[in-house]
Structure 1
Amino acid sequence: MRLHRLTVTAFGPFGGTQTVDFDELSAAGLFLLHGPTGAGKTSVLDAVCYALYNEVPGVRQNPGQRRLRSDHADPHTPTEVVLDLTVGGRRLEITRRPEQQRPKRRGTGLTTDKAQSWLREYDAAAGAWKALSRSHQEIGEEIRQLMGMSREQFCQVVLLPQGDFARFLRAGAEDRAKLLGHLFDTRRFAAVERHLAELRTAAQHRVRDADERLLALAHRMRQAAGTASEPDGAPFEDLSPGDPGLAGAVLEWAALARSTARERLDAAASARRLAETAHAAAQRDLEEARELDRRRRRHAAARQRAEALAAGAEEHRRDRARLERARAAETVAPVLEARERAEAEHRRTALAEERARELLPADVAQASAERLAELERAARQELGALDAARHAEERSARLADELAALERESGADEDLLREADEWLAGWEATRDAHQRRVDAAAEAASRAEQLARRLDTVRRQWEAARRRDSLSREETAARAELLEAHERALAAKQDWLDVRARRLDGIAAELAGELSDGTPCMVCGSPDHPAPARPGARHVDRQAEDAALERHRRAEEAHHRAERRLDSLRERLALAVEEAGETPAAELAERTAGLEAEYAAARRTAADAADARAAFDRILREHEARRAARQEAERRTASRTSTRDALLRERSELEEQVARARGGAVSVARRAGELERRAALLAAAAEAASAAEAAARRLKEADARLADAAWRAGFDTPQAAADARLADHEQRLLQRRVDDRQAEEAAVAAELADPELAGAAALPPAGTAGAEAALEAAVARLNAAVAADAEARRRCEELDRLSARALADARDLAPLREEYDRVARLAGLAAGTSAENERRMRLESYVLAARLEQVAAAATARLTRMSGGRYTLVHSDARGSGRGRSGLGLHVVDAWTGIERDTATLSGGETFFASLALALGLADVVTEEAGGLRLDTLFIDEGFGSLDDQTLDEVLDVLDSLRERDRSVGIVSHVADLRRRIPVQLEVVKGRAGSVVRHRGPKTG
């Protein structure tokens, strides 16, 4: 990495635009950056870091500690940093603008511009710059990949800032590992460690799973074989997963179990064939007896049904006669229904006529329909003559309303003009007061945004610290839980082995429990059992053994779950520690509470921003509205007088016309309403009278048609036809009853005519009880024989299937065990846990230790010169304490005493030049590393004041020698003696208008 040019505008103490030409400064190899305290020496380094990482070093990134925008800058000048550099063989230009406030282009007050970034690359072929990106994220990712370092690592290796000078020298093994791992890209070795550990775990699980599957298959084969066929003893009972003889023992026992099971299958098949023959004979005898009994019962039932039919013959004749009359009445039904409709219509129209006549005056209430129609036409003619007068009366009323509205509008406009004059008189003072309120709220809002960003950072760190403390407690509890689960798993396994041994001891009693007198023994074949074994006091059955095995499996699963939970907690704890650091949660909580109080105060002050802006906009709109309303009111007042005079003349003419037309009524509208109601009543009465007369005529005609239809259907009167009708469901029910009777008669006749039933009735009753008892006994014997045969066949099939699986699993187990042994040895060596790894050093640590040894050697070449030959840096590969890394230690050897000691024992000046030598050595090794980042520019911020004159000369000689490698070093210091010793300088001069930079060389002085 080589810096070419830096341009800052309104940044930190620099009020204007300042340019630093690093090419000119770096030409001498060593240059000095100096100036008075507070002038802005460190701000130059801040600008470089800000351009690269969009952040400034250390605590200066906190907006509450130091703002990026200069207090000396013109409000219209934006804060900007432009850095021209070469990194990774590419010439780049990075431009950064932070979030900042500027005056509004229209109106008064401030507005906030968002942060912006630009990235350009110089195209040597075209001789011009080309734009790459304007995205913060894309630019940040591009720079991080090219630099290969985070902001903190860059500040440690390139920009050694104040207070952080010796951090790498005194860092712990883990911190050194992180920095060196990023610089030398050793992630592939850490990935190898993780991959080997994953392979070991996977191989271990495969071996364990294969052993457990094989042992589980053995137990399943033992259960499938059954106690009666089990050979004496099971050789695999004393073996556990991992024993090399497990597969052979299981396969040997399986072969013996299959042979015994096949012998039992042959005996069961012979017994089943004999039982099937006896069962078929008993079933035929029972079916013949049942068929004879069924025929006798059918013939007796047919005789009883014939007697019941003879008893109901009279009722059947009545049903048929009633059904015939109902069918005859169906022909009269349409005429009868039409007469009922006519009668209902006549009643309705007569009632309507009566109600309509009740509403008429007494002198015309009994008039005929024709007379009522004539009276309606006369009322309609008189009503038409009043239309013009009615419209004149309505217009007159509207004119009165319009005149009243004009009077109200005149009064409202006078009030509006008076109120507008009073409000506009105080406009200037009101506007100034609201403007001051808006400005004050905007300033408070800006302060609240800055505090919010600080509070968010501290709050996330506090939450991480609380997670760290909580996970630490959970991790302790999980370790205890894992130990307890391990003990329970061991106890459950021992209990299962004890129960299995007790069952095997009493297995003969289980076999004897299945014996019965006269039944051949399934082991020896004898039907006599003179001395069967009896279960002892400690004997357990198969259910107890299965329960113990299940408890063992559950305990193992609980143990595995506890292991996984502990691993997860450890990973989450490491993440929380990395995010929160070592700061106590209480301290972070106190810091968070302080920031929250400060932020709340700023928010309360800024809460009025929206209301203030809205109020200001509101009074602006109100000012415009009042001015416009005042002008409109004046215009309306001028035009209102002529309108009022015209309306008064028109109303006088209309009132004369209405008075002539209304007669004795209160108004023309009242007179017209009376005529409309009279005409409507007359029309309704005339229509109702006509409808009633027509309905009476239709009822008389319906009576005549009904009498004729009843006579034609054979009924004396219409009422007789109506009485003979049946509802649809009654007629269907009656028809079904007649049909059922006829069907029953036919069925009974067929049954009594059957010769087989008559012959069976003549024979004596058949006895089925004896045949059923004989069949039940035969069925019982057959079921027992079939069950025994099926069980024997199932055992043989299950044993064959399980044996094949066991043979396949046994063949797969050997290569799995060999693979696990090989991978476990490699993973232990890479992780530093194997006894063969004498220093317990991880693979990544081993690689980093080699790099650190190179760094220490390179640093010693300069440290020896700086210390006058006294000190030498050496790499230590001693084992770390606890869980810390091994092989990443750094010690210093004092040639005056010959003692190797820790670097923390060095004095302040010694620490400075030792750290400087280490940083230079680190830069050399990184440069020499294939594919590593070349660090052509280094900055050293302060620390030279702690050196005496002789040591200072030696340090400067070492730094001056760097030019041999085309490398430059910038020293940031206000030590006066350095100005005489280093001719090339960049001076930062402070003033009331802000600081400026000046380049000084051997010629400029």
Structure 2
Amino acid sequence: MRLHRLTVTAFGPFATAQHIDFDALGEAGLFLLHGPTGAGKTSVLDAVCFALYGAVPGARQSPGTTLRSDHAPAGTPTEVVLDLTVAGRRLEITRRPAQQRPKRGGRSGYTTERASSGLREYDPVTGAWQALSRSHQEIGDEITELLGMSREQFCQVVLLPQGDFARFLRADAEARGKLLGRLFDTRRFAAVEERLAELRRASEQRVKSGDERLLALAHRMGQEAAGAAGEWPAPAARPGEPGLAAEVLAWAAVARSGARERLAAAGCALDAAGSRRAAAARLLEDARELAARQRRYADAELRRAELAGRRGEYEEWRAALDRARRADRVAGPLALRDDAEARHRAAVAGHDRARAALEPELAGAGPEQLDDRARRARRELAELDAARGAERRRDELARERADSDREAGADEETRQEAAGWLDGWASRRRELQERIDTALEAGTRAERLAGRIEPARRRLAAARRRDELAGRVTAAERELSATRERANTAHESWLDLRERRLRGIAAELAGRLADGEPCAVCGSPDHPAPARAGDGHVDRAAEETAYAEHTRADTARGEAERALAVVREALTAARAEAVDAPGDPQPPVAALAELVAGLADEHAGAHALAAGTHAAREALDRAEREHTERLAVRQEAERRIAARTSRREALDEQIAALEAELARIRGGGTGTVAEHAARLEARIERLTGATEAARAVEDTARRLKEAEGALSQAAFRAGFDTSDEAAAALLGDDARRELQHRLDARAAEEAAVADRLAEPETRAAAGRPPADPAAAEAAHTAAEEALRAAHTALAAHRDRCAELDRLSREAAREARGLGPLRAEYDRVAGLAGLTAGTSAANERKMRLESYVLAARLEQVAAAATARLSRMSGGRYTLVHSDARSGTRRSGLGLHVVDAWTGRERDTATLSGGETFFASLALALGLADVVTEEAGGVRLDTLFIDEGFGSLDDQTLDEVLDVLDSLRERDRCVGIVSHVADLRRRVPAQLEVVKERGGSAVRLRTYAG
């Protein structure tokens, strides 16, 4: 990596743009960056780091710190531009931090501008810069990948801070480990340590979890065993202790053996309870059977007495069933008589209804007379059929005539409506055309007004700015007058104080005289009459204060003049924009506002009218189409009206002819033919019904008389005196079945009672003492409960044995699974302890990360020794040590070997000058090793910070020789120091000058 040019603007102490040409400085290979304290030497290095990584070194990136210069003008942005070559590519990086800037548009106040970045690459073929990216993330990734170093590594390798390495020499192993860890990025080895520690904790937890599960199983087996293990002690080991599995498995075996012994005893008890329960069951069965036979005999005796008391009821059932069987022979004639009687009553009721509907003179007429009247009415109805056809034709023609009248009326209305609309067509068409012309004219006017509104609005805005700027000019003039007065007063005050100081300068010089010292003016060592300060003496501090006040006032006056000029220029531009033409008087804001409002209103009205052009054209098109349609409608209506007039005349003639014929048929009667025919049809129907009803009454009377004769004969043959007596003796099928069922049930019950009383066992049981089934039941219940208790006890012992077997299998499985877990834990714990430095196998108590860093430190010490030996004239050599110091861990020790004494001692014993060049050699060696670690990126530009003031002339020459050797292979080395002797020894110099208005850089290529 080689730096070419750096430009910083409003950054740190630099108020204006400062350009640093590293190519010019690097021609000599070695250059000096110097300046007074606080001038900004380190800010140059901060700018390089900020350009590359978007941040300054960590020690200077404190919260609340801003990169913007306090001396920079408000409108100057903070910016850093770096031109460099890295990995064979010429790049330009531009960085701007987040910063405050004045608001645009003349508004007061500030706004925050976000940070921005830019990356460009130089194309040697085209000779032009090409933009690559403006993304902070992409630029940061690109630079980090090209350099191969993080910001922390860059600050340690390129910007060599000697103070840090002096502390590194005196630090303990932990502090060295932190620095080396950041530089060489050994986080992966620390991650390995942490990962192994996590694996050890996880493995330990798995072992403890397995032991806890095994103890939980032992606890559950203890609950299940319920003392089956006897006096054998329960497992007392804790999770993680060895031998826990064997202790649990031994106790489980004892518990299973005791549980099986109790199971065998419970089986014997169950067999004995089963025998006692069987004997009790046999006794209960015998008692119940004896009690049942005794109850059976007693119930049979009781039922025989009841049957004997109800003998009369049985005889009545038998007699009623016999009468019902004889009455069955009368059932047929009786049913025929009932049916004939019902038919006759219905015929009489129908005949009465039919005669009530006839004329009074026919109330006593017989069937023949009624039938004759009906035949005459049918002949009269036949004669009306022809007249009904004519009447229907006349009605159809009358309906057609009415329809024609309605249609003719509708056609007349349509014709009149079309004629009325067509009468106003000319005026309507003229009105629509006028609407179109008006809209077109309004569109033209709206376009013309639109061209006038925008200039008027600009003039109005300019007039408002003009009035505002006029007020600001007045205020700026007042401010300028005040600042001029203050500047004049401050100037006069400073001149007065300087004059007074010059008058008393002799007293000021006399105050510096000392006895025996030569006078700065005359050179005499004797001071016989030194001047004395008089009243009102002014010292140098008062004069400088007055001069600073004068400078501030003069700067404020210049700023006020510039502000007034800017406002006046803006006022002139606003006045020129506010008038319509040059030379016109300035219009007031109110008049321009009124003009703009009037133009806007007029334009809005014209635009609204113009918007109706399309609608007006469409209205005219619709009206013309409607005019055509109305003409066609009127012509069609006139044609239909003419055709219907001739048709109505023909219909009137046909209707008149039919009316004459119907009048002749009716013979002067009233009503229509259809009404007369309907009356005849109703009379015929009544006469026919009355005739049929009279004949039905005669027929049913004859049949009723025949049925009554047949019923009387059947009742006599069946043994009944009258037909009513036979009808009363009849029974229905249900009643007859019910009587027969009662008779059969009584006979069966009498036979069953006799059979039960004749049974030998029942008669023998009746002769024995009464049975006691309750006592036998109680004995059987007790035996049942004892048997169930024995079953329950056996099941409990069997379940206990099964559960203990299951839990024992689980315990054995857990014990088998714990073996690999314990082996894994031992292996992982050994590795974790070895990498963490806590294992006994790690004799030096060195962590893995420390071991890797120790190798890196050994490389750094070897690279540093090559330069340290030259700086110290071959006296000192840096060596790495991994020896332990007390109880601390080893691996990062650093000692110095003194060739003059041949002894090895700690680097903390070096003197100030020795510490400087030892730390410088260490920093350079570290730079070489980190460069190789980062992928061999060539570092052509290095910076070395303070510390040269502690060296004597000879050592300084040796250090400069070593640094001068770094120029080999076209390397450029910058020394950051304010040691005066270096200005004589290093010709190429970059001086940072501290001024009141901000620092500046100057390039010098000569000594002194």
TM-score, structure 2 length as denominator?
Answer: 0.49
TM-score, structure 1 length as denominator?
Answer: 0.49
